[in-house]
Structure 1
Amino acid sequence: MNNALDLFSLEGKVAIVTGGTGVLGGAMAHGLAAAGASVGILGRRAEVAQSVADSITADGGRALPLPADVLDKETLIAARETIMGAWGRIDVLVNAAGGNMSGATIFNDVTFFNMQEDAFDQVVKLNLHGTLLPSQVFGEVMAEQGSGSIINISSMAAEQAITRVLGYGNAKAAIDNFTRWLAVEMAQKYGEGIRVNAIAPGFFIGEQNRDFLLNPDGTHTARGQLIIDNTPMSRFGEPDELVGTAIWLASSAATFITGIIVPVDGGFSAFSGV
């Protein structure tokens, strides 16, 4: 190969980003498209999925909205049919759908002892089942092709205990194990061309956590400042800072990489606090 940068090209590849209507998923969808991929924007909010797809198209990329629910297999199968009808293959799946729920967060009136089991189940289902089902539906195409890259989204809450986020932390810890398990399963049964990895973001400002981390005037809350104090780079991440890792894991530059969880966290996971 004459140009090493060609290893990172996604030209000719087809990617699906679940949660592509969110801040982090949307950033990765834009990044994959800029690297050459045709990208399906999968999310429950049809109008937002259309808006993200339109934005990618306006930037010169290729994108389709895929209104679907990651917990509804029938809508995922319909999305698969749309992608296969339009582009004929699926090379990359980014499982970016997920998030936290207040009922499974130990905060204010919710304690470990009065937290409702249903709330815990809901956040685990959103994150774990919401990764499992798309991996089944879209990963089946990869198995038939003998090639593909599945990229799950983990969290710093999977690696070490972070106060409050009981349900979310347990769900993301399960994502880490699922990533390793599926990496082995795919490689052993369907060939070395199918890889499964995860990205573990550090702390990024999104729709769900903004009020926990930032005051209305933009200054840090006490919890936000505690995170900054334990992040060696002393700042929150920017959504675009996930793009490079996503492109790398999706591309030919990572053909011998499977079953790993990559922190993108400003050093948070490396720091002991001392």
Structure 2
Amino acid sequence: MESQKIAVVTGAGGTLCSEMARDLARSGYRVALLGRSLDKLQIVEKQIVDAGGIAISVSTDVSNEESVRAAGDVVERELGICSVLINGAGGNQMDALTNTTEFDERELLDDGSVKGFFNLNMAVFQSVIDVNTMGTVIPSFVFGRGMARQKQGVIINIASMNSFRPLTKVGAYGIAKAGIANFTQWLAAYLAPAGIRVNAIAPGFFLNDRSRKIMFDQDGAKTARAENVLSHTPQRRFGEAAELLGCMNWLINEEAAGFVTGIIVPVDGGFLSNAGV
């Protein structure tokens, strides 16, 4: 029913999830855009409305239950009960990344010469885990309740290459995204009797505002990190946000994927198929 085509997209101001939100609106969904930055959300909202769609922006801290519950009240009051939830909020922080790929004795000196595991800020490390893990759990907890009452719904989490294998420098993000894969499978089995399907998309290396700073120098040249990533990606390029839409729409479609739940789908240009040797 048209009245049930209501999507909630967290992290909707970001590169990937804004593309998903716009596509959902084109498909007839009324879309609630959730994220920390209202300014970014309202840009996406305007794009959707200008194209003839329906969207609302709700400033939300997805790692805070009270904030998400308040957002849920707004969504249900203004749009109705969520039928599709895209858990896209998350990301990393530069202060949670090491700048070395293996232990270096200089990191024990705490003199700033090397940023390794032993001189990372543990509060920032934990915040990355919180926003990625609880930032997926809490919206599922809040919006999944309405789906359970309706006995239907689709939840799509955003996993990562880190869900499958550890990548250098990003320990906190890796913990979180591995957890997202496990939680996706757990929640899929748990919610199956409620008629709710839960799956995850695992993007490979896509460019957004944060990753561009890692993958390119100020002059636009690829960094060593970018060259390493591309050398392990058989298609030898970064992904484009629109290339996630086919997977998203397949997972949402009850006719095409009604018997699909509890899977994590890599969209990675072949990254996971290449050991690099």
TM-score by length of 2: 0.90
Equivalent pair of 2:4/2:82 in contact (CA under 8 Å): no
Letter in 2 for 1:52: V
Correspondence list, 1:201-220, <5 A? 201-220=203-222
Matched, 1:139 2:131: no
Of 243-252 and 104-113, the range deviating more from structure 2: 104-113
| Distance in 1 (alpha carbons) for counterparts of 2:126 and 2:217 | 30
- Taking only the aligned residue pairs, the percentage that are identical comes to 45
Deviation digits for residues 13-67 of structure 1 (CA, Å, limit 9, x no counterpart) = 1100000011111111111111221111101111221221111111122211111
Matched, 1:237 2:242: no
Q: Secondary structure at the match of 1:200?
A: strand
Match of 1:155 in 2: 160
Match of 1:3 in 2: none
Match of 1:6 in 2: none
Letter in 2 for 1:113: F
Aligned match for 1:195, one of 182, 194, 197: 197
Matched, 1:107 2:99: yes
Aligned match for 1:97, one of 56, 70, 89: 89
Letter in 2 for 1:169: G
| Cα 1:165–1:200 shift into 2, 3 Å | same
Equivalent pair of 2:4/2:83 in contact (CA under 8 Å): no
Match of 1:167 in 2: 172
Letter in 2 for 1:208: R
| Distance in 1 (alpha carbons) for counterparts of 2:122 and 2:213 | 25
Q: Secondary structure at the match of 1:208?
A: helix
Of 122-131 and 58-67, the range deviating more from structure 2: 58-67
Match of 2:262 in 1: 259
Aligned match for 1:269, one of 267, 272, 275: 272
Equivalent pair of 2:4/2:81 in contact (CA under 8 Å): no
Correspondence list, 1:37-48, <5 A? 37-48=29-40
Superposition RMSD on alpha carbons, in Å? 1.6
Of 165-174 and 100-109, the range deviating more from structure 2: 100-109
Equivalent pair of 1:11/1:37 in contact (CA under 8 Å): no
Correspondence list, 1:2-13, <5 A? 12-13=4-5
Instruction: State the Cα distance separating 1:10 from its structure 2 match.
Output: 8.3
Structure 1 segments, 4+ long, off by >4 Å, are 9-12
Match of 2:111 in 1: none
Deviation digits for residues 111-141 of structure 1 (CA, Å, limit 9, x no counterpart) = 1223233222111001001111111011111
Of 93-102 and 82-91, the range deviating more from structure 2: 82-91
Match of 1:125 in 2: 130
Of 91-100 and 115-124, the range deviating more from structure 2: 115-124
Matched, 1:65 2:43: no
Letter in 1 for 2:266: P
Which of the pair has the greater relative contact order for Cα pairs under 8 Å at 6+ separation?
1
Instruction: State the Cα distance separating 1:103 from its structure 2 match.
Output: 2.7
Instruction: State the Cα distance separating 1:146 from its structure 2 match.
Output: 0.7
Match of 2:251 in 1: 249
Deviation digits for residues 186-215 of structure 1 (CA, Å, limit 9, x no counterpart) = 014x2xx20000000000111111111012
Q: Secondary structure at the match of 2:118?
A: coil
Deviation digits for residues 188-246 of structure 1 (CA, Å, limit 9, x no counterpart) = 4x2xx200000000001111111110123333111101111111111000111111111
Letter in 1 for 2:142: V
| Distance in 1 (alpha carbons) for counterparts of 2:250 and 2:217 | 35
Of 171-180 and 24-33, the range deviating more from structure 2: 24-33
